[in-house]
């Protein structure tokens, strides 16, 4: 970039798809559901010698349900993204906010990923790999069709942007 064309830090305008809330909730429930089930089964099989497995399973289940109810909606409020002709902007995090900017001239690859749970919610993640030591920028929780369009747009813009991406 030359002269007055500098990329500046600013709040990105784009929001994630609202289905990301359900996707995050499902991830929480799956993450806590397996240990809850394992504790409950072990408590039933081992019997009175390990009575403490039942309360542990209950506490873990309550914590998982509470986290699944609260955190996804809260995260949704803070995650933002935007793509301009000059850069990709991403802001994540609630307590520890991370703002990332990838100038188009630094982008090396653009990937779209849809894990099994993302497919259920018709969501996708766009990964923008740059020449940065910090690593790739990920925009998670996008509608899968929007993610495909975004990957195509980024590919067109970066192809027309002068620079060596190193």
- The fraction of the chain above a pLDDT of 70, given in percent, is 90
Quote the pLDDT of residue 5: 58
CB atoms within 10 A of CB 127: 16
Token readout for 116 is: 């099994």
Quote the pLDDT of residue 109: 92
Which tens digit of pLDDT belongs to each residue from 108-149? 999 999 999 999 999 999 999 998 888 899 999 999 999 999
**Phi and psi torsions of 18, nearest 5°:** -65, -20
pTM equals: 0.81
Q: Name the β-bridge partners of 129.
A: 109
Task: Tell me the CATH class for 79-160.
Answer: mainly beta
Dist. CA 138–CA 149, nearest whole Å:
15
Which tens digit of pLDDT belongs to each residue from 68-120? 999 999 999 999 999 998 899 999 988 898 999 889 988 999 999 999 999 99
Q: What is the mean pLDDT of residues 23-48?
A: 87
Question: Cα 166 vs. chain centroid, distance in angstroms?
Answer: 25
Tell me: pLDDT of 40 over 70.
yes
Quote the pLDDT of residue 1: 44
Tell me: pLDDT of 51 over 90.
no
Q: Name the β-bridge partners of 89.
A: 82, 101
User: Considering only CA atoms, which of 102, 106, 111 is closest in space to residue 165?
Assistant: 106
**Phi and psi torsions of 31, nearest 5°:** -65, -40
Quote the pLDDT of residue 69: 95
Quote the pLDDT of residue 62: 94
Tell me: pLDDT of 6 over 90.
no
Place 8 in a pLDDT band, splitting at 50, 70 and 90: low
Quote the pLDDT of residue 164: 62
């Amino acid at each position: 970039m030359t002269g007055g064309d500098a990329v500046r830090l600013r709040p990105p305008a784009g929001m994630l798809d609202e289905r990301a809330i359900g996707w995050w909730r499902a991830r929480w429930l799956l993450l806590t559901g397996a240990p809850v089930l394992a504790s409950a089964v072990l408590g039933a099989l081992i019997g009175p010698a390990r009575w403490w497995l039942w309360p542990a399973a209950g506490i873990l289940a309550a914590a998982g349900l509470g986290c699944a109810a609260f955190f996804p909606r809260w995260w949704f409020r803070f995650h933002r993204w935007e793509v301009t002709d000059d850069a990709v902007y991403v802001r994540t995090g609630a307590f520890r906010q991370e703002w990332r900017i990838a100038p188009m001239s630094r982008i090396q690859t653009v990937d779209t990923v849809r894990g099994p749970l993302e497919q259920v919610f018709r969501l996708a993640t766009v990964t923008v790999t740059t020449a940065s030591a910090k690593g790739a920028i990920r925009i998670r929780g996008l509608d899968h069709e929007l993610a495909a369009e975004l990957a195509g747009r980024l590919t067109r813009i970066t192809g027309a942007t002068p620079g060596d991406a190193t």
